[in-house]
Structures are given as structure tokens and as C-alpha cells.
Structure 1
Amino acid sequence: MANPKLLLISGSLRKGSYNRMLLAEAAEAFGPAEISDGSLDLPLYDGDLEEAEGVPDAVKHLAQQIKDADAVIIGAPEYNKGITGVLKNGLDWISRVPGAAFKNKPVVVVSASAGRTGGETAQFMTLSCLTQLQARLVPGTAVLIAGAMNAFDDAGKLKDETSRKLLAERMAALRAEVV
């Protein structure tokens, strides 16, 4: 296989988010790949909007990106002990697109959070949503980066060797699913 297609989806819209930094580190650890970013900058899910106008083009585009990808990595930050609104909204919209975009798609979820659990609750909730969407969740030790404001250097690289090693192991497992 030529370089696999790897889709990165951040549950934070902020350009400088810790989860975007973690996704960049994950993509580097994954190795050679054709990398694209999926945008969750979507309208709020509204059944009336869907009925009146259909599924928005931005949602259809994201669903197609998921379908076209060989593997997906989701950065799931934690807000107030739960999944972010934009990530849940994106997953809800994706569920409305015919063709089950995530069905059998190899997925790894990683999390970076300012809190001491590193986003554990958000990651659990994200995995639960992805199970319903029939994603093929790649098993392994959870990548949970606690105290994210101190976990990355000025270049956006993980400082902790143990975290880098764990991320590399998870990315090797994801790569093995597609190569």
C-alpha cells in the first residue's frame, strides 16, 4: 500500500489547542501518510434544519473524508468532565449521513486536558459514541495527557518520554490495521 490516508479530527476548534498538538504528534508517530484534517466547525444539529435543507455540505464533506480515510485519529478534549459540544455535534451529524462513514473504520482516540485525568471521561464518552457508529476501535492503553498546559514544549512537542512511547505504540497498532 502507498502511504495510507490518515484523517485527524480535533474535538477543539481552537487552533492552538492541546489536542491539535497531540494529533500532530500522533501523525508524526504514525509515520508516512497522506494526512488531512477534518473540520468540526459545523452548524448545531437540528432535525428541522435537516428536514428543510438536508444535511449541510460541510457535514457531507466530513463524512466523505472519514469514508476515504484508511484510519482516523480523534483528539477528544474534556470540558467539564465530558465530551466537547463540537465533537458530540459532529458525531451526531455524521450519524445522519447515509452510508455509515465510520463503519469498520480503524480509529484511535487520544486526549489532552488541563485536568489531572487527561480527558479520561471525554475519551470514554467518545469511544461510546463511536461504538454506536460502528467504528473499529483499535485496542490499547489510553493516551491521556494530563496537565496539558505543561505537557508540550514551545514547539508543540510532548515533553514526557513515557507519553511519547505510549503514543508511538498506539500509532504502530493503528498503522498495523491499515498497512
Structure 2
Amino acid sequence: MKIIAFGASTSSTSINKALATYAAGLVDDAQVTVLDINNYSVPMFSEDKEKEIGQAPGAQAFLQDLAEADALVISFAEHNGHHPAAYKNLFDWATRVEREVFQGKPAVYLATSPGPGGAQNVLAAATASAGYFGGNVKASVSVPSFYDNFDVEAGVVTNAEIAQQIHQAVQLLGN
């Protein structure tokens, strides 16, 4: 099984990218590719810009990379209760190329934040809208207080209950 994992964040030290990488690595015999959304440059979306340039090459490349996966593990960063602007912009461009961005692939949606909310708002929004964009969400898990529950150096969840929830979630990717 080929899994594409990414954090919907542009931070070079993204806790969501770390969480997605950890979770995807729990799937036995999977080939994991971790994407960095910084590699998909797109201008700020507008209909005028779309008329000017057509389909953004960065969005086309993002969709092509997702197409190569058998399953997806995405961890959503939250900025003021919403998707980060850079991810939302890439997503908007991608929907103009292919509305079903997630292409029906089985997915686990995650979210985390340094605080106790665990990015639950953005996770709820992403999960609720997934079906409109070809999302096939098998499970979702919010991880609160990231630095209290994740060992950054070791790259592992340290909270046994959360680790079990994530492990159970990613096992559903093969179903």
C-alpha cells in the first residue's frame, strides 16, 4: 500500500506534518511518501488570476501526487479556527482542476495544536466537507496539547490512549 501523508501547514517545523508522518508509519508494509505543501507553489486564487493563467501547475502537481496514493493521512493545522491560508489556497486551486481532490481514497484525518483544543474546529470542518471533494474519511483523531503528548525527537506519540486511537484509525485504511 502506498500512503501519501502531509501536514496542511507551511511551517518548516510543522507539528501536523510530524503527526501525519508518525501515523502513516504505523501501517504495516506501507510505502509512505510525506509531502510538503510548500512544494506546490500557487498564486493567490481569484477568478481573474485563473482566467489569466488557467490551471495552476502547483495544483496539478499536488493532484498528481495524491493520485499515486492508495490512501491518505492528512493532519490539519488550525489558524484562528480555520484552515491555514496557504493550504486553503492550494486546495481551492486544486478543486478548479478536479473537484474530487481526494479522489475517493481512504483517508485518516488528524489535527493537533500546542493548546488543549487540538485543532478540533478545523478537523470538524475538514471532515464535514470531505464528501464534497472525494474524501473517504475512515477515521479522525484530534491530538490536544501536542508537546505534552508527542516526543518530537523520537517522532512518537507518548500518550498511550492517543497512540491507540491513532493506531486503530490508520488500520482502517486497508478496509
Provide the TM-score with structure 1 as the length reference. Answer: 0.86
Conserved in 2, the CA contact under 8 Å of 1:23 and 1:75?
A: yes
Say whether residues 1:73 and 2:73 are aligned partners.
yes
* Unaligned runs of at least 5 residues, structure 2: none
Higher relative contact order (CA 8 A, sep 6+): 1
Alignment partner of 2:150 out of 149, 152, 160: 152
User: Residue 35 of structure 1 aligns to a residue in which SS?
Assistant: strand
Deviation per residue, 1:136-179 (Å, 9 max, x gap):
121x4x311111122222322211111111110001011x23xx
- Tell me the residue number matched to 1:107: 107
Equivalent residues of 1:22, 1:75 under 8 A apart: yes
Residues 84 and 122, structure 1, Cα contact 8 Å, conserved in 2: no
**CA shift at 1:6, angstroms?**
0.7
Q: Aligned with 1:73: secondary structure? A: strand
- Residues 77, 84 of structure 1: 8 Å contact kept: yes
Report what 1:8 is aligned to: 5
SS at match of 1:29: coil
SS in 2 for 1:36: strand
Per-residue deviation, 1:99: 7.1
- Mapped to 1, the partners of 2:137 and 2:109 lie a distance apart of 8
Q: Which moved more, 1:129-138 or 1:20-29?
A: 129-138
Match of 1:128 in 2: 128
- Answer whether contact 2:111 2:118 (CA < 8 A) is retained: yes
RMSD over aligned CA atoms reads 1.7
- On the 8 A contact 2:21/2:34 being kept in 1, the answer is no
SS at match of 1:144: strand
1:167 aligns with 2:166: yes
User: Percent identity between the aligned chains?
Assistant: 22
Q: CA deviation at 1:61?
A: 0.7
Instruction: Name the amino acid aligned to 2:80.
Output: N
The Cα shift of 1:30 comes to 1.7
* Matching residue of 1:23: 20
Structure 2 match to 1:59? 59
- TM-score scaled by length of structure 2: 0.88
Q: Does the 8 A contact of 1:12 with 1:86 survive in 2?
A: yes
CA distance in 1, matches of 2:36, 2:87: 10
- Measured in 2, the distance between the counterparts of 1:28 and 1:150 equals 21
Secondary structure of the corresponding residue to residue 108 of structure 1 = strand
How many residues matched?
Answer: 171
